[in-house]
Structure 1
């Protein structure tokens, strides 16, 4: 059975994750590459935060599972993956008190849903936004406070990898296949509408492009393989690196047999290139996720 679900997304957004900052300058989180360019990124932790926020709002995920009883903010001892879908999908660590020497080290569970950082596909060019609170200052006859904020509008990419065999299983706990299936489906539905609230803005992180499928192994096949180019016609997705992955094999099977691609119409200029690569497996983004959900139901043998 195909237990490894993975997909890589392209979305478009602006200024998604700020770091520590210097003085009155708010700095975006950035990476520097050997080509001399800087690329902004949003950490996997911030993506997880927004996934959980939306899941609580849309599907009523239980978030009352945290305390600070041992001096560390962490998941409560009396909470398990039965009560917390968040703990099931994203893992947990529960530390013991210093005087609990007989209990050994921390109790941990690895994440069954793996997220990469969300990394820009266009380099950061030092764009800044000058801000002040003149409107408030004028009300009381004071000078406004000043701030400088880094800004970056770009396409971004990130990858999700899920081991379906580990969802809903933790030690002696094993949830029903119906519940395991439902948790994965809820997660996929959230990805379709993912957004981020930041500094008075709501950035739309729903996919413009997505490629992946269900495979015999939980491996991020398309991580680092999705790139964009620009020419006189506009933005296009580099199809060569994706084609190399699609036409590769694992355990004697071509990945093409299990790979699907979703793309928003007119989002990129070279959709026709992928029709030649994937044929009928090229579809809308919504149908792409419907195909994943179908595969998830087949894995868990749920109608």
Structure 2
């Protein structure tokens, strides 16, 4: 049996995609978009975890997603560690539709020719809409407490490439048998003067209808902190269209303009 990751809410179970999987998917898309990634290297300490090259000035993933590394001591000195906290904060993708117990039944015939029996297996499957949030700390891109790694032009380019990766989000897991589209069909974004994922719990569905009053109330509650905001949605995908909503492409283009404006500072 191949199981879906799920969380329980009352008697219902809701599938989710872990934040680690989303971060991996974003890294993969950045590579597809032409960005060189920091290659994994072996740990310098015995039984230590592998890490990256830890060069945020050269590699976009070291800059945006951070790292944790350790260094062995030489016998006279203690080992040290290096850490960069992720600039990009990611929530899991949580299904808005509960798991209904659906299964896919398969048979592996690879061993039959060798005289074995077919291997029958089951895979949990789910189809629905998932909700997730990504927060980007623009003031920390390309720098740490002591120095700046890159100039503002490259900072803007890195964040805009990340936006492209989000717009075209695609996960490689199980795609050979269960091709799925996890690119956004609805997006609401804001440039904020504070670091607060205000939309984390604000997108809800009632059937296939987006709950607009919750979104409107969130925008009103945080109006003093919102510098700019935009809503993008796939027209006709939901039962209701939101007034003044842009297309998905137009919404991401507007976000890219925010980034250019911010890094003019």
Q: TM-score, normalised by structure 2?
A: 0.90
**Cα separation, partners in 2 of 1:293 and 1:103, compared to 1, 3 Å:** farther
Give yes or no for the alignment of 1:29 onto 2:5: yes
Match of 1:75, SS state, is coil
Give yes or no for the alignment of 1:48 onto 2:23: yes
Alpha-carbon distance in structure 1 between the residues aligned to 2:159 and 2:171: 21
- Gaps of at least 5 residues in structure 1 are 1-24
- Gaps of at least 5 residues in structure 2 are none
CA RMSD of aligned residues (A): 2.1
Match of 2:133, SS state, is strand
**Between 221-230 and 170-179, the greater mean CA deviation after superposition:** 170-179
Shift of 1:178: 0.7
Q: TM-score, normalised by structure 1?
A: 0.80
Aligned pairs (5 A) from 1:1-303 = 25-33=1-9, 35-71=10-46, 72-76=48-52, 79-97=54-72, 102=77, 106-134=81-109, 136-170=110-144, 171-199=146-174, 200=176, 201-230=178-207, 235-249=208-222, 253=224, 255=226, 258-271=228-241, 274-275=242-243, 279=244, 282-301=245-264
Higher helix share: 1
Match of 2:38, SS state, is coil
How many residues in Structure 1 have an aligned counterpart in Structure 2? 261
- Confirm or deny: 8 A CA contact 2:54 2:67 kept in the other structure: no
Match of 1:197, SS state, is coil
Match of 1:214, SS state, is strand
- Confirm or deny: 8 A CA contact 2:38 2:54 kept in the other structure: no
Higher RCO, 1 vs 2 (CA within 8 Å, ≥6 residues apart): 1
Post-superposition CA distance 1:151-178 (Å, at most 9, x none): 1111001101011010000333431001
